[in-house]
């Protein structure tokens, strides 16, 4: 791994000065302000409180069960999804370089093409058993975090130490080279898309998982799909629909599913939401075992979306940012073979009056 010692040394000095001046600013925000990536900042701690890890992420992830209960964190710029549990039932499909973690608590979809570098990070923390917070952090080739695993007070520290020793990289320099991630192709003009054919195949869906391949087959972006389907499969609702939906789900004790994704991971909560709190610009779910933090100022569009399946219509609330990226998707709790909850459908139907 190439290094740039002088540049990295300068960055380390700048990062230490930034932390002294802004001790409460989180590292992702700090990286943006400093014009660097989060991975580059993390790497400046190598040889001290950070250990660069070697590749073989699928093998490492398959051993996370040994840690016991941990907190899994996946985020994008607008939403942070935190879920506590054990990494049970980890599997990978080499053909597509994808993975799954399937458990009632830790439920992940992994896209391993975006897992390029990893670190073990240890920082002071009053909540730790010995005053230390331990984590495993993974980043894309541009230095953007794709997934993090934090130890809890119930985690096995010995197992963590063994994993770090096993996957320790030979290179523990403080420089972390990064490269831009290839940008998505420009959106196909509407006039070049077979909209009628697209909508017909949408109507013929039998499984929600077939929707993303449908977009790809027709060269349709997410925002285009929402526009094409408006009045038939989609309807736009106000940004505050997020609050209204979570509040209704909590009040009516309707279990839901909350999807938040990074380029390398989609993390899912399935179950109730109870404790809701606004700390502008963030709106939060603060439940034991599950926390969601969503920056409401970054919500550009909110849509109610319907997809036909062999079990009936499946309805979601989808929030997008100004670039058309998905911030979060909410569904009613369901499994294949089980129809959508009437209570969930009613909650989203009530949003129509807000949009009027």
- Write the pLDDT tens digit of every residue in 183-195: 777 889 999 999 9
Distance (Å, rounded) from C-alpha 164 to C-alpha 157?
11
224 with 285, same domain? yes
68 with 129, same domain? yes
213 with 153, same domain? no
- Write the pLDDT tens digit of every residue in 278-323: 999 999 999 999 999 999 999 999 999 999 999 999 999 999 999 9
204 with 78, same domain? no
Does residue 58 lie within any of the structural domains?
yes
214 with 251, same domain? yes
Strand partners, 110: 99, 265
Say what percent of the chain tops pLDDT 70: 97
Domain holding 151: CATH number? 3.40.1570.10
How much is the pTM? 0.94
Give the strand order in the sheet containing 290-295. 50-53, 117-124, 132-139, 145-151, 70-75, 79-85, 290-295, 282-287, 276-279
Distance (Å, rounded) from C-alpha 50 to C-alpha 47?
6
159 with 196, same domain? no
- Write the pLDDT tens digit of every residue in 34-87: 999 999 999 999 999 999 999 889 999 999 999 999 999 999 999 999 999 999
Give the count of domains, the chain. 2
What is the domain range of residue 343? Answer: 192-355
Does residue 108 lie within any of the structural domains?
no
Does residue 251 lie within any of the structural domains?
yes
Distance (Å, rounded) from C-alpha 172 to C-alpha 107?
32
The answer to whether the beta carbons of residues 140 and 116 sit under 8 Å apart is yes
Does residue 171 lie within any of the structural domains?
no
197 with 340, same domain? yes
Ordered DSSP codes for 107-121? -EEEEGGG--EEEEE
196 with 157, same domain? no
What pLDDT was estimated at residue 126?
A: 79
**Mean pLDDT of all residues in 148-162:** 97
- Write the pLDDT tens digit of every residue in 229-243: 999 999 999 999 999
14 with 159, same domain? yes
Does residue 173 lie within any of the structural domains?
no
Distance (Å, rounded) from C-alpha 234 to C-alpha 115?
33
Distance (Å, rounded) from C-alpha 122 to C-alpha 307?
44
Does residue 276 lie within any of the structural domains?
yes
Say which residues have a Cβ less than 8 Å from residue 248's Cβ, sequence separation at least 6: 254, 347, 350
What pLDDT was estimated at residue 6?
A: 52
160 with 198, same domain? no
Does residue 100 lie within any of the structural domains?
no
Does residue 96 lie within any of the structural domains?
no
10 with 159, same domain? yes
**Which of these, 322, 330, 278, 280, lies nearest to 299 by C-alpha position?**
322
Q: Is 319 helix (H, G, I), strand (E, B) or coil?
A: strand
Whether 5 has a pLDDT exceeding 60, the answer reads no
162 with 200, same domain? no
């Amino acid at each position: 791994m190439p290094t740039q010692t002088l540049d990295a040394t300068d960055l380390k000095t700048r990062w230490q000065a930034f932390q002294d001046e802004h001790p409460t600013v989180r590292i992702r925000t700090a990286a943006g302000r400093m014009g660097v990536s989060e991975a580059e900042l993390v790497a400046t701690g190598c040889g001290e409180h950070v250990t660069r890890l070697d590749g073989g992420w699928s093998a490492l992830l398959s051993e996370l069960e040994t840690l016991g209960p941990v907190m899994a964190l996946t985020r994008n710029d607008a939403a942070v999804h935190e879920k506590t549990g054990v990494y049970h039932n980890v599997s990978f499909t080499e053909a597509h370089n994808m993975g799954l973690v399937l458990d009632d608590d830790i439920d992940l979809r992994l896209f391993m093409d975006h897992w390029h570098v990893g670190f073990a990070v240890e920082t002071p923390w009053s909540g730790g058993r010995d005053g230390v917070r331990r984590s495993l952090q993974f980043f894309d080739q541009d230095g953007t975090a794709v997934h993090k695993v934090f130890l809890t007070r119930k985690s096995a520290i010995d197992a963590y130490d063994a994993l770090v020793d096993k996957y320790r990289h030979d290179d523990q320099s403080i420089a972390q080279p990064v490269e831009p991630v290839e940008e998505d192709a420009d959106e196909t003009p509407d006039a070049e898309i077979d909209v009628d054919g697209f909508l017909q195949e949408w109507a013929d869906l039998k499984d929600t998982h077939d929707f993303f391949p449908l977009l790809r087959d027709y060269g349709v972006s997410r925002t285009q799909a929402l526009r094409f389907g408006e009045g038939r499969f989609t309807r736009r609702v106000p940004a505050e629909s997020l609050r209204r939906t979570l509040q209704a789900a909590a009040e009516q004790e309707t279990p839901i599913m909350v999807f938040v994704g990074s380029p390398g991971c989609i993390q899912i909560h399935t179950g109730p939401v109870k404790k809701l709190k606004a700390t502008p610009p963030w709106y939060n779910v603060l439940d034991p075992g599950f926390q969601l933090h969503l920056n409401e100022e970054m919500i550009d569009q909110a849509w109610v979306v319907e997809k036909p399946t062999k079990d009936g219509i499946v309805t979601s609330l989808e929030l997008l940012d100004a670039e058309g990226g998905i911030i979060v998707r909410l569904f009613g709790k369901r499994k294949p073979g089980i129809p959508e909850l009437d209570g969930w459908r009613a909650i989203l139907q009530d949003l129509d009056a807000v949009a009027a």
